[in-house]
Chain A
Amino acid sequence: MYGMIHRAARDMVRSAGGDELWDRILLQSGLKDDEFVSALAYPDETTFRLIGAVAAEMNLSLEEALGQFGRYWITFAHASSYSPLMKMAGDDLFGFCENLDRMHASIKISLPDVDVPSFRVIETGDASIRIGYLSSRAGLEPFVIGLFEGLLDHFNQTGEVTCVGPIDQGIEFLIQIKG
């Protein structure tokens, strides 16, 4: 994946455990500083090695690490130079979800090697969204859950995100807003 994803992971680790924890993760994963250039694409294997090292050094399961990273990505994107993109995507969770696919599709113009996932809102209720996720990568469901949890948080809402399971195309997620 693109280096911007690696940078976000680095930010997350540093904010959790400082440079010392980060140095341990670099050592464990064998990654070098030049694998953190946002505009460059790296093999997925590198990204997964990084997340694996984060999990190991932070005493998390791979699932927990992915979930935490998903939640962190939302905060990161809002606090970084991506914030105008996030803002344009919508002012509430429903609108945002509708735009998620177009946002990723548009990113392909400036990042030609990107392999972004596709999102499709299947159904919206008063307090729920059913959304389909289609990716060429396997095993990122906990990450997607974390991302939607992060979005709930970001729009000042509480709720629950579950992975419903495979549908005809991709995997279905359910966001239920509470209170």
Chain B
Amino acid sequence: MVVRLDEAQLNLIFPAHIRIGPDLSILSVGPSLHRLMPGARPGVRLSDQFLIERPRGAVDFAAWVRARAPLQIRALTGPIFLRGLVLADEPGFLLCVSHVVSDMAGLEASGLRMTDFSEADSSLSAILSAGVQASMIAESRELMRDLATARDDALAASQAKSAFLANMSHEIRTPLNGVVGVVGALARTDLTPAQREMVQLVVTSGQTLERLLSDILDLSKVEAGQLGLESAPFCLSSAIEDAVRLMRVRADDKGLAFGLDLGPGAGAWVIGDVVRVKQVVSNLVSNAIKFTTEGRVDVTVSVRNTRGDDLEIAVEVRDTGIGFDAEARERMFQRFAQGDGSITRRFGGTGLGLAISQALAEAMGGEIRVSSVPGSGSHFALNLTLRRGDLESEIQGQSDGAPSWLDEVSAAGRALRILLVEDHPINQQVVRLILEGQGVEITTANDGLEAVNLFQPDSFDIILMDMQMPVMDGLKATRLIREREQVEALAPVPIAMLTANAMEEHRQAAQAAGADFHISKPLTPESLIMGIEATLAAVQRVG
């Protein structure tokens, strides 16, 4: 049966139909399509208004009509999309479509209304739901934007808070140092026993406050992302021995046995931040001692695995202390929360130590693992992967080019005479290794006083002076040497101050004491050689 529709019926049932002739030009369009696309007029070529998406490839009109495959066309401009069956009629053929509008906003201009669609035309429903969906998408976009802004704001606020904390801790430290210093002086005066006791109380309180401040400072650095990690070679076992040296005494005082087991491979040189590694280890050991009333604390250092140049290192701390349960473990690493409020009161401390240690371990690409049975002790393990740092190859690998003083000294027919003032044997070794074969002759003094005694007119070309040393520090030694040069009208010897702290105030203190240059530790071949060159140059400029 063939149903013939007159124009009016056709327009009512298929308000978006389109009729196309054999030359692929438009013969007529339904009323709603006409409203949507005034450009799709009779006589216009189909391809001037639409992209033919299906069937794909070149359109063979006759084959297309025979196949009766669905046609899918998309307006070249605007969000209008049509798909429907191809029905042949005379003189052209008819595409009978549902039209879909993928973006309702594009309809604004068309002036199309719901009444333009027959009651039976389901394409209206599709258009309306496209509208609802578009508004949902708009909302998701808005939500994502809000979320991003909220996150940025929260981050900025948190960073501002951390920066504030860091600043405040710094600000508080200065007056606190004053208080502690003055009280220390007061303690050395004649006091009644009662006064002495009170002064002692102020001293211990001050020390507690200092520890608290440095914890907060560390934590806020971590949170503000300002934790700069050093990367320099150090000897693993010496670092751990260093870290536990003081702790051993504390364990002794408490009557606890203390064991340090340096396993195979523990003597390796590795590359990392020795100060932070030591800080984490001594924190773990200090906690173990704090929470152990009897029994022992044991530290084991082992290289678990070697992968190429990477060493998987574990520093484990076991104790026979009070231990903790799973819930306490959850809270243990939370910043500003302690396992049990009463613990702080009983054992003291800021409760930040573990949170800081964990943050430091993570910043170094490692982790801290814990396990415990309440009442029978705990087990903490610091797991780190550090690159192997063969000290000598490290140093040779890094130095490039010959130092500038080589020509001068060879012309003078003698080596550059260096007085190295440094208390730490490993650091002495580092300097020797770096400068070996660079035309230098190194004399070593173990502290400032030795240096002052060794110093004679025209005996050295340069002095490398460590700032922090026992007996006499580098600042005092530098001042004494400069005084003697003044009194005896000697040409000033170039002095470079070596400090572990790159802070501006240290730089200024070094300069005020009479140093010509400042080299920060840990030393690298570049920093040392360039530092020496710069010190020599600075003196020449002045002289």
Contacts and interface: CB of A to CB of B under 8 A. Distances in A.
Interface stretch (A23-31, A47-55, A65-73, A84-92): A84-92
A39 B136 contact: yes
Given A88-B114, A107-B129, A38 B136 contact: yes
A95 B125 contact: no
Residue among B105, B134, B138, B139 with most chain A CB within 10 A: B139
B115 A90 contact: yes
A138 interface: no
Given A38-B135, A90-B115, A107-B132, A84 B126 contact: no
A127 interface: no
A99 B115 contact: yes
Q: Is the interface of A mostly helix, strand, loop or mixed?
A: helix
Nearest to A104: B128
B211 to A, nearest CB: 41
B135 A82 contact: yes
Contacts of A4: 135
B129 A84 contact: no
A106 B115 contact: no
A82 to B, nearest CB: 6
B88 interface: no
Contact of B131 (A84, A98, A99): A84
A103 interface: yes
B113 A91 contact: yes
Interface string A127-170: 00000000000000000000000000000000000000000000
Residue among A80, A87, A98, A110 with most chain B CB within 10 A: A110
A14 interface: no
Nearest to B107: A84
A95 B136 contact: no
Q: Is the interface of B mostly helix, strand, loop or mixed?
A: helix
A106 B136 contact: no
Nearest to A89: B114
Contacts of B127: 88
Interface residues of A, number: 26
A81 B105 CA distance: 8
Residue among A81, A89, A95, A111 with most chain B CB within 10 A: A81
A109 to B, nearest CB: 4
B505 to A, nearest CB: 46
B534 interface: no
A102 B122 CA distance: 11
B105 to A, nearest CB: 6
Contacts of B114: 88-90, 99, 102-103
Contacts of A99: 114-115
B132 A110 contact: yes
A109 B126 contact: yes
A81 B135 contact: yes
B108 interface: yes
B27 interface: no
Contacts of B115: 90, 95, 98-99
B112 A88 contact: yes
B459 interface: no
B113 A106 contact: no
Contacts of B132: 82, 85, 107, 110-111
Contacts of B138: 81
Residue among B133, B136, B138 with most chain A CB within 10 A: B136
Interface string B109-153: 000111100010000111111011111101100010000000000
A37 B132 CA distance: 13
Contacts of B95: none
Contacts of B135: 4, 38, 80-82
Nearest to A3: B139
Contact of B113 (A38, A95, A111): A95
Interface of B: 104-105, 107-108, 112-115, 119, 124-129, 131-136, 138-139, 143
15 contacts: A4-B135, A38-B135, A38-B136, A80-B135, A81-B105, A81-B138, A84-B105, A88-B104, A88-B131, A90-B115, A98-B115, A99-B115, A102-B119, A107-B128, A111-B132
Interface of A: 4, 7, 37-39, 80-82, 84-85, 87-91, 95, 98-99, 102-103, 105-107, 109-111
Given A82-B131, A88-B104, A99-B114, 6 more contacts: A81-B105, A81-B139, A82-B132, A85-B132, A88-B113, A103-B114
- 9 nearest A-B pairs in the assembled complex, by CB-CB distance: A81-B135, A110-B129, A106-B128, A84-B104, A106-B125, A109-B129, A110-B132, A99-B114, A81-B138
